[in-house]
Amino acid sequence: MSKRYYITTPIYYINDVPHIGHAYTTVAADIMARYKRICGYDVFFLTGTDEHGQKVEKAAELQGISPRELADRTVHQFIDLWKVLNISNTGFVRTTEERHKKVVRYIFQKVFEKGDIYLGAYEDWYCVPCETYFTDLQLHDGIHCPDCHRPTEKLKEESYFFKLSQYGDKLLKLLEEQKDFVMPEVRYNEVASFVKGGLRDLSVSRTSFTWGIPVPMKANHIVYVWFDALINYLTGIGFLEDDELFNTFWPCDAHLIGKDILRFHAVYWPSFLMSLGIQPPKHIFAHGWWTIEGHKMSKSLGNVIDPNEVVKQYGVDEFRFFLFREVPFGLDGDFSRKAITHRINGDLANDFGNLVSRSVAMIGKFLKGKVEKPETRGGIDEHVEERVRQLIDEYQKEMEAFSYYKALQHVFEITSILNKYIDSEAPWKLAKEGDPRVKTVLYNLWNGLRVTAMLLYPFMPVKSQSIWNAIGIGKMIEKVSFDEEKVFYCIDDMAAIGKIAPIFPRIED
């Protein structure tokens, strides 16, 4: 059986247009999906939109349209942005789709029949934007939401409850047995201490609004938006519809999320699944948040970054690359025009772009555009090849752990080694002296570039292909096998390479 990999993004609320935060998680998932595909995995990559709930109902009301109209309008902005960003998702769930509603009703009923959902009454402080209740003790300054700091309101309603309190020990056991269930470690610790603090039953229905999925046994109750939303991860791979697809891909390998929605994914979601007798996901990875030029991103500050604009100005691969080269995945980061310009000019135009153009020019001039298998090899040639091989292994280790930042550091160590190799071996001198080692050095450079482009492929799918084309390789990079390509070789069907336009033009400040 071939290797399978299932990765998801959160499904995005459609009360708001897509911004850099949404792009971040989605590009992160795309990077892993592309990486796994060239490593030989059959990948299912799911994203989608979260279209129910009070927040959406209120936003639609403000615009004087129905929630359905709002959803139909905004969903296209997400779909279009994913095209612009070259997102290679294989599935997309809208929670308003019939196939999803059917799954949610089925699961609610099942958990109810099991005795894990019961009818009770609820009174507490409710935060509308977060769709979450808080106790007195949890409130900030006695009235504000501890998460978003906006005012909460006292609400009392009849409600169905999920017996979350019964799942504390099981969750602790899961966390104990699977130390990488939640990544990075700081988030694991956060979840563990939350669970150790004791769990209260969770309200899973609302009667204060109507935009959502009615509870199967009492239609004036609407299924809590998080209960509804999390289930998308099952709907998307054919739960109740296509057993073969479902059994192939579940349990999910990785849910990628932002740190703000950790508790829903790492505490509630596995508990719902355990109640259903379905295995929990293998990993949950929570990333940090972006600020903009040092400030929290917010509509009122007017500093919300539209990824379409950034792409227009800097290029799509440049944007994708920046997001993961600038900040270790998992930590918070700051987006600024200065930082993205600095990254593009430094890493891409100077270090990597120059390496490509110098190498291509020399292969054109000294070898008539084609590299050949070397006849003689010196110590330094072997050393360079060996170092590159080690760095590829390091890269793979980091990619497996979602350490994109470190993986990219290894890639740029390769470019730095190759740039130094050109300077120290001076191929133009070897050519002038008629030394056959010129072939060896250019062969190593060509191979170094070839593998570097492949390592960058998950981050920069378009540019890496341009580099392959520029160095005479006609293959589609997205179709290759990582293991076959990571060794140094010489190809017979290499196209002769000539002059190329700069692949990474400099950005003027």
Distance separating alpha carbons of residues 92 and 66, to the nearest angstrom? 22
Can you state the percent helix, strand and coil of the chain, rounding each to 5? 50, 15, 30
**What's the rounded Cα separation, in Å, for the pair 145 and 149?**
5
Cα–Cα distance for residue pair 170/496, rounded to 1 Å: 62
Query: Residue 201 and residue 148: Cα distance in Å, rounded?
Result: 22
Residue 335 lies near ligand MSP (rule: CB under 6 A)? no
* Residue 132: CB minimum distance to ligand MSP, A: 11
Rule CB under 6 A: say whether 320 interacts with ligand MSP: no
Q: Which two tokens stand for residue 300?
A: 């009122």
We find the least distance from the C-beta atom of residue 69 to ligand MSP, in angstroms, to be 19
- Site residues for ligand MSP, 406-445, by CB under 6 A, read none
> 25-84: which residues touch ligand MSP (CB under 6 A)?
25, 50
Residue 336 CA to residue 143 CA, distance in Å, equals 34
Residue of this chain nearest to ligand MSP (CB atom): 258
Distance CA(19)–CA(78), nearest Å, equals 9
Nearer to ligand MSP, 225 or 344 (CB): 225
Half-sphere exposure of residue 187: CA atoms within 13 angstroms, side-chain side = 26
Short-list 114, 119, 108, 115, CA closest to 231: 108
- Distance between CA atoms of residues 376 and 387, nearest Å: 19
**Which residues between 155 and 214 bind ligand MSP (CB under 6 A)?**
none
Alpha carbon distance 467, 357 (integer Å):
10
Q: Which of residues 216-275 bind ligand MSP (CB under 6 A)?
A: 229-230, 232, 257-258, 260-261
**Terminal Cα-to-Cα distance of the chain (whole angstroms):** 52
Q: How far apart are CA 27 and CA 54, in angstroms?
A: 28
Q: Which residues pair with 41 in a beta bridge?
A: 3
Q: Which of 22, 52, 320, 343 binds ligand MSP (CB under 6 A)?
A: 22
User: Among the candidate windows 10-18, 391-399, 417-425, 447-455, which touches ligand MSP by CB under 6 A?
Assistant: 10-18
- Output the smallest distance, CB 11 to ligand MSP, in A: 5
CB of 90 to ligand MSP, least distance (A): 18
Nearer to ligand MSP, 292 or 500 (CB): 292
- Judged by CB under 6 A, the residue of 5, 12, 321, 457 near ligand MSP is 12
- In angstroms, give the least distance from the CB of 332 to ligand MSP: 8
Count of residues in contact with ligand MSP, rule CB under 6 A: 19
Q: x/- contact string, 103-122, with ligand MSP (CB under 6 A)?
A: --------------------
Radius of gyration in angstroms for the set of CA atoms belonging to the chain, rounded to a whole number: 26
Find the binder of ligand MSP among 6, 21, 201, 463 (CB under 6 A). Answer: 21
To ligand MSP, the closest distance from the beta carbon of 61 in angstroms equals 19
Residue of 106, 209, 289, 366 that binds ligand MSP (CB under 6 A): 289
Q: Closest CB to ligand MSP among 286 and 363?
A: 286
91 is an interface residue for ligand MSP by CB under 6 A: no
Cis peptide before 184 (omega within 30 of 0): yes
- When the beta carbons of 92 and 468 are compared against ligand MSP, the nearer one is 92
Q: What is the 3-state secondary structure (H, E, C) of 27-43?
A: HHHHHHHHHHHHCCEEE
50 or 385: CB nearest ligand MSP? 50
Cβ neighbours of residue 492 closer than 8 Å, sequence gap 6 or more: none
Nearer to ligand MSP, 47 or 203 (CB): 47
Residue found by looking up tokens 């540019």 in the block: 463
User: Are 175 and 182 spatial neighbours (Cβ–Cβ below 8 Å)?
Assistant: yes
For residue 392, the minimal CB distance to ligand MSP (Å) is 30
In whole angstroms, the minimum distance from the beta carbon of 285 to ligand MSP comes to 11
Q: Smallest gap, in angstroms, from Cβ of residue 505 to ligand MSP?
A: 28
Tokens of 29: 């998932």
Rounded distance, CA 204 to CA 206, Å?
Answer: 7
Site of interaction with ligand MSP (CB under 6 A): 10-13, 21-22, 24-25, 50, 229-230, 232, 257-258, 260-261, 289-290, 297
